[in-house]
Amino acid sequence: MIILGIPKIKKKQNLKFKQDYKTYYPIVYKHLYYLSGSNEIAEDLTQDVFIKYLDYVDKNIEYPGAWLSKVATNVAMNYFRSHKRREIREMNIFLDTQTLFMVEDQIYRLDEIRLVRKVLSQLNENQRMCLLLKFSGYSYDEINEITQIPRNNIGKTIARGKEKFMKLYREVGEEHVS
Protein backbone atom coordinates (compact mmCIF):
# COMPACT_ATOMS: atom_id res chain seq x y z
CA MET A 1 0.00 0.00 0.00
CA ILE A 2 1.29 3.44 -0.73
CA ILE A 3 0.00 6.29 1.36
CA LEU A 4 -0.29 9.48 -0.61
CA GLY A 5 3.07 11.18 -0.50
CA ILE A 6 4.64 8.51 1.67
CA PRO A 7 6.53 6.04 -0.52
CA LYS A 8 7.20 2.81 1.29
CA ILE A 9 9.96 1.69 -0.99
CA LYS A 10 12.63 4.13 -2.00
CA LYS A 11 13.75 4.56 -5.56
CA LYS A 12 16.95 2.93 -6.66
CA GLN A 13 20.29 4.66 -6.32
CA ASN A 14 20.65 7.15 -9.12
CA LEU A 15 23.27 8.95 -11.02
CA LYS A 16 22.59 12.29 -9.35
CA PHE A 17 23.34 10.96 -5.92
CA LYS A 18 26.61 9.44 -7.13
CA GLN A 19 27.66 12.70 -8.76
CA ASP A 20 26.77 14.82 -5.74
CA TYR A 21 28.43 12.35 -3.41
CA LYS A 22 31.64 12.54 -5.40
CA THR A 23 31.56 16.33 -5.62
CA TYR A 24 30.52 17.18 -2.11
CA TYR A 25 32.00 14.44 0.04
CA PRO A 26 35.33 16.24 0.60
CA ILE A 27 33.57 19.59 1.05
CA VAL A 28 31.15 18.26 3.66
CA TYR A 29 33.99 16.36 5.36
CA LYS A 30 36.08 19.51 5.68
CA HIS A 31 33.11 21.48 6.93
CA LEU A 32 32.50 18.89 9.64
CA TYR A 33 36.17 18.69 10.49
CA TYR A 34 36.24 22.45 11.05
CA LEU A 35 33.22 22.20 13.30
CA SER A 36 34.39 19.18 15.27
CA GLY A 37 38.19 19.26 15.17
CA SER A 38 38.20 15.48 14.84
CA ASN A 39 38.74 13.29 11.79
CA GLU A 40 36.80 10.42 13.34
CA ILE A 41 33.76 12.53 14.14
CA ALA A 42 33.92 14.25 10.75
CA GLU A 43 33.98 10.91 8.98
CA ASP A 44 31.02 9.53 10.93
CA LEU A 45 28.95 12.67 10.56
CA THR A 46 29.70 12.96 6.84
CA GLN A 47 28.19 9.51 6.42
CA ASP A 48 25.13 10.66 8.37
CA VAL A 49 24.72 13.69 6.13
CA PHE A 50 24.74 11.62 2.98
CA ILE A 51 22.40 9.06 4.47
CA LYS A 52 19.95 11.92 5.01
CA TYR A 53 20.60 13.11 1.46
CA LEU A 54 19.48 9.71 0.19
CA ASP A 55 15.98 10.63 1.30
CA TYR A 56 15.99 13.87 -0.65
CA VAL A 57 18.02 13.22 -3.76
CA ASP A 58 14.95 12.64 -5.89
CA LYS A 59 13.33 15.86 -4.73
CA ASN A 60 15.41 18.00 -7.12
CA ILE A 61 17.00 20.24 -4.53
CA GLU A 62 18.05 23.37 -6.39
CA TYR A 63 21.26 24.00 -4.43
CA PRO A 64 22.51 20.67 -3.12
CA GLY A 65 25.70 22.25 -1.75
CA ALA A 66 23.71 24.65 0.38
CA TRP A 67 21.35 21.90 1.50
CA LEU A 68 24.22 19.62 2.48
CA SER A 69 25.91 22.44 4.36
CA LYS A 70 22.80 23.16 6.44
CA VAL A 71 22.29 19.49 7.21
CA ALA A 72 25.96 19.14 8.15
CA THR A 73 25.66 22.02 10.58
CA ASN A 74 22.51 20.57 12.16
CA VAL A 75 24.06 17.13 12.42
CA ALA A 76 27.13 18.58 14.11
CA MET A 77 25.02 20.63 16.53
CA ASN A 78 22.93 17.61 17.49
CA TYR A 79 26.04 15.51 17.94
CA PHE A 80 27.68 17.96 20.30
CA ARG A 81 24.54 18.53 22.30
CA SER A 82 24.25 14.86 23.06
CA HIS A 83 27.88 13.83 23.17
CA LYS A 84 29.84 16.63 24.76
CA ARG A 85 30.08 15.16 28.22
CA ARG A 86 30.85 11.67 26.99
CA GLU A 87 33.53 13.07 24.71
CA ILE A 88 35.31 14.74 27.60
CA ARG A 89 35.31 11.51 29.59
CA GLU A 90 36.56 9.49 26.64
CA MET A 91 39.30 11.99 25.95
CA ASN A 92 40.51 11.69 29.54
CA ILE A 93 40.58 7.91 29.27
CA PHE A 94 42.45 8.15 25.99
CA LEU A 95 45.10 10.37 27.53
CA ASP A 96 45.54 8.04 30.46
CA THR A 97 46.26 4.98 28.38
CA GLN A 98 48.70 6.34 25.82
CA THR A 99 52.49 6.34 26.16
CA LEU A 100 54.10 9.59 27.14
CA PHE A 101 55.51 10.78 23.82
CA MET A 102 52.27 9.95 22.01
CA VAL A 103 50.35 11.82 24.68
CA GLU A 104 52.55 14.87 24.28
CA ASP A 105 52.06 14.85 20.52
CA GLN A 106 48.33 14.37 20.92
CA ILE A 107 48.11 17.11 23.53
CA TYR A 108 49.91 19.50 21.20
CA ARG A 109 47.65 18.59 18.31
CA LEU A 110 44.50 18.83 20.41
CA ASP A 111 45.64 22.16 21.79
CA GLU A 112 46.28 23.58 18.35
CA ILE A 113 42.92 22.40 17.09
CA ARG A 114 41.20 23.82 20.15
CA LEU A 115 42.99 27.10 19.70
CA VAL A 116 41.82 27.46 16.12
CA ARG A 117 38.25 26.62 17.06
CA LYS A 118 38.34 29.06 19.95
CA VAL A 119 39.51 31.81 17.62
CA LEU A 120 36.77 30.94 15.12
CA SER A 121 34.16 31.11 17.86
CA GLN A 122 35.22 34.67 18.61
CA LEU A 123 34.55 35.96 15.12
CA ASN A 124 31.13 37.37 14.38
CA GLU A 125 28.70 34.93 12.86
CA ASN A 126 28.98 36.14 9.25
CA GLN A 127 32.77 36.07 9.25
CA ARG A 128 32.87 32.68 10.91
CA MET A 129 30.35 31.17 8.50
CA CYS A 130 32.08 32.63 5.44
CA LEU A 131 35.48 31.34 6.48
CA LEU A 132 34.18 27.88 7.35
CA LEU A 133 32.28 27.55 4.11
CA LYS A 134 34.97 29.06 1.89
CA PHE A 135 37.73 26.81 3.24
CA SER A 136 35.40 23.83 3.02
CA GLY A 137 35.20 24.50 -0.71
CA TYR A 138 31.78 26.09 -1.24
CA SER A 139 31.43 28.68 -4.00
CA TYR A 140 30.29 32.25 -3.34
CA ASP A 141 26.91 31.42 -4.85
CA GLU A 142 26.54 28.54 -2.41
CA ILE A 143 27.72 30.70 0.50
CA ASN A 144 25.12 33.29 -0.48
CA GLU A 145 22.43 30.61 -0.60
CA ILE A 146 23.40 29.20 2.79
CA THR A 147 23.96 32.41 4.72
CA GLN A 148 21.84 34.94 2.79
CA ILE A 149 24.83 37.31 2.87
CA PRO A 150 24.66 39.33 -0.37
CA ARG A 151 27.08 37.88 -2.87
CA ASN A 152 28.83 41.22 -3.32
CA ASN A 153 29.68 41.30 0.39
CA ILE A 154 31.14 37.83 0.67
CA GLY A 155 34.65 38.71 -0.55
CA LYS A 156 34.92 41.59 1.90
CA THR A 157 33.54 39.49 4.76
CA ILE A 158 36.11 36.79 4.07
CA ALA A 159 38.97 39.29 3.85
CA ARG A 160 37.95 40.97 7.11
CA GLY A 161 37.34 37.62 8.75
CA LYS A 162 40.83 36.43 7.91
CA GLU A 163 42.32 39.66 9.24
CA LYS A 164 40.48 39.28 12.51
CA PHE A 165 41.28 35.57 12.69
CA MET A 166 44.99 36.26 12.45
CA LYS A 167 44.84 39.06 15.00
CA LEU A 168 42.92 36.90 17.47
CA TYR A 169 45.16 33.90 16.82
CA ARG A 170 48.22 35.95 17.69
CA GLU A 171 46.58 37.31 20.85
CA VAL A 172 45.17 34.02 22.02
CA GLY A 173 48.32 32.17 21.00
CA GLU A 174 50.51 34.47 23.10
CA GLU A 175 48.34 33.93 26.17
CA HIS A 176 48.29 30.24 25.45
CA VAL A 177 52.05 29.99 25.50
CA SER A 178 52.67 32.17 28.54
Question: Which of 74, 95 has the CB closer to other proteins?
Answer: 74
Examine residue 174 and tell whether it contacts other proteins (CB under 8 A).
no
Of 26-65, which residues contact other proteins (CB under 8 A)?
A: 26, 29-30, 33-34, 37, 39, 42-43, 47, 52, 54-55
* Angle of CA points 111, 26, 40, to nearest 5°: 45
> Beta strands of the chain (E only): which ranges?
none
Question: Which of 19, 96 has the CB closer to other proteins?
Answer: 19
Helix (H, G, I), strand (E, B) or coil at 6: strand
Q: Select from 62, 96, 174, 175 the one that contacts other proteins (CB under 8 A).
A: 175
Distances (CA, A) of 68 to 7, 31, 32, 72, 85: 23, 10, 11, 6, 27
Q: Select from 8, 15, 97, 99 the one that contacts other proteins (CB under 8 A).
A: 8
Of 89-108, which residues contact other proteins (CB under 8 A)?
A: none
Q: Select from 41, 65, 134, 145 the one that contacts other proteins (CB under 8 A).
A: 134
Examine residue 19 and tell whether it contacts other proteins (CB under 8 A).
no
* Residues 66 and 145 sit within 8 Å (Cβ to Cβ): yes
Residues contacting residue 147 through CB under 8 Å, at least 6 positions apart: 126, 129, 130, 133
Q: Select from 127, 129, 145, 146 the one that contacts other proteins (CB under 8 A).
A: 127
Task: Calculate the CA dihedral of residues 160, 162, 166, 169 and round it to 10 degrees.
Answer: 110
Q: Select from 16, 82, 102, 104 the one that contacts other proteins (CB under 8 A).
A: 82
